[in-house]
Amino acid sequence: MAAVLIQGVKGLIAALLAWEITSWWLPGQQEYTAVATALLMVSAPTVHRSVTQAARSVGTRAAGLSLAAAVVWLLGSTAGSVAAVLAIALFAGAGGHRSTDSRLQVVSTAVLALTVAAAAPMGHVVALVLATLAGAVVGIVVNALVLPPLHLEASDASVRELAASMGTLLGDMARGLRERQHGDRAHTWLEQGRHLEELVVQAHEDVHRGQESLRWNTRCAVHGRGKVPAHREALHALHRVSFQVRGIARTLADNVDDRHTDHHLGRLFLERYAATLEAAGQAVTSFAALSSTAEPGRVDAARDRLRQGIGEAAVWHQAMTDLIAHGALPEPGAWHVYGSLMTDVERLLADLDHADRLTAASARPRSGAASAA
């Protein structure tokens, strides 16, 4: 509700400023064009986006105006002028220099300019582009100076949701293996693992928007610029981990469908692997807190939980590796299943450990700079 109210106030400010500014020096009713453009720019999700949208909007309108002016100068305001505009647009499109949307905007602006030019001097058409430029400038300025948007919370929430979903799935698989319920639940785990890709895509969008919202943002001095890179590094690590989680779920589902009884997993392996997945799930969940905007003390506590989880999982992993190497497991026919599951959890732990060391190394210079300040 607060965000909607802030956006409404910013839109009102931009609309009033655009109207007043254009009413001073532009002829006709160009205030409406300026107000519409200002509202579009001030509604952009980031300051950077408002600038790029403004440049694109003004550029396409200027190109359309130039095209219309050239056609009117050569052919006049006739039906043949519209045909010439379309022919030129098709020829330019064949060269592949502009996207389809950009060409359509240029053509529509040119046709509109031809329509206006038929009933008014070309100066009124030029005023249309100037009004667009004025509205774009007003929208950008208001968006940049009046509570410019930041999306760090959404970025942090997406990373946390992805980590929590993977941690929950790993913990659920651990309980299922310990209680010998994998035969009934393996395919459910597989579906949940596939759903992780949707969360990864959403998290990438939110983290990218969060990083973009810091560009040219006057609030960066208050909120800091180092948090979004932490989100990005955490997301990259979690994305890699999601491959291993899905791989574990897929292997368990395939093993359930395997009709060879000597390929089924034994009790000793299930118990030890369940302990590994449980520790890995706790480590994944703790890892997300390292990219959080929380206080440094909470981040340090999360890092301690992460290191403990990685350590416990590594101990169980080494114990199982020794059992497999010495042939102590009573189901030798399932060696390929053992190998696949062990490889996935080994890579999972390696990704978490590598990402944690990177984030810890990148945090040290900031901490030193903060203390010096």
Q: Do 250 and 181 reside in the same domain of the chain?
A: yes
Residue 77 — pLDDT band, cuts 50, 70, 90?
A: low
Residue 275 clears pLDDT 80, i.e. is over it: yes
d(CA 150, CA 251): 41
User: pLDDT tens across 197-219, in order?
Assistant: 999 999 999 999 988 888 888 77
In a domain? residue 370: no
Q: Do 89 and 187 reside in the same domain of the chain?
A: no
Contacts of 191 (CB under 8 A, 6+ apart): none
Q: Dig out the tokens for 33 from the structure.
A: 């064009």
User: pLDDT tens across 223-255, in order?
Assistant: 555 445 568 888 888 999 999 999 999 999 998
In a domain? residue 60: yes
The predicted pLDDT at position 226 comes to 45
Residue 92 clears pLDDT 90, i.e. is over it: no
Q: Quote the domain boundaries for residue 30.
A: 2-145
98: left (phi over 0), alpha (psi -120 to 50) or beta: beta
Contacts of 181 (CB under 8 A, 6+ apart): 175
CATH number for the domain including 187?
1.20.58.220
Q: Mean per-residue pLDDT for 93-97?
A: 49
The predicted pLDDT at position 128 comes to 75
In a domain? residue 373: no
d(CA 336, CA 129): 68
d(CA 331, CA 6): 64
CB 167, CB 313: distance < 8 Å: no
Q: Do 53 and 138 reside in the same domain of the chain?
A: yes
In a domain? residue 189: yes
